Amino acid sequence: METLQIPNSMKEILQFAEGKTIQEKLARLLLSDLENRLRSCTERLYEFEKKYGLEFKEFKEAWEKDKVPEKFSYEIERDYMEWESLEDEHDLLLSKLREMKERLSL
């Protein structure tokens, strides 16, 4: 296990975090961060689903079958790349969140 030195100024602030020990406080802060990032990512995914009326999987299928109008326009290509990236980010965050909860038995 690696030792982490926490500056006194941060220790004072950590007292206000949930948890009994420093380790528990840090774990809860990490969980909270992952949950917030996942929520933000999910909201951004929903914006694309609302804009195109499809989930990414359906949009990707339409894209690959050349059924997306103006497929090569700057806006649609940019949306596709960002949407695909958000899907990957969502999967990664969800995986890390589950992993963290399993480790902490939450």
Give me the torsion for CA of 60, 45, 90, 16, rounded to 10°: 180
Answer positive or negative: Cα dihedral of 58, 60, 63, 65. negative
Q: What is the pTM for the complete model shown?
A: 0.85
Whether 105 has a pLDDT exceeding 80, the answer reads: no
The residue ranges of every structural domain in the chain are 17-104
- Locate 15 and state its tokens: 């007292």
* Residue matched to tokens 């695909």: 84
Banded pLDDT at 103 (limits 50, 70, 90) = confident
- Measuring CA to CA, which residue among 37, 8, 51, 30 is closest to residue 99? 30
The residue among 7, 46, 31 whose CA lies nearest residue 104 is 31
Predicted confidence at residue 45, as pLDDT, reads 99
Whether pLDDT at 77 is above 70? yes
Confidence category of residue 106, pLDDT binned at 50, 70, 90: low
Residue 14 pLDDT greater than 70, yes or no: yes
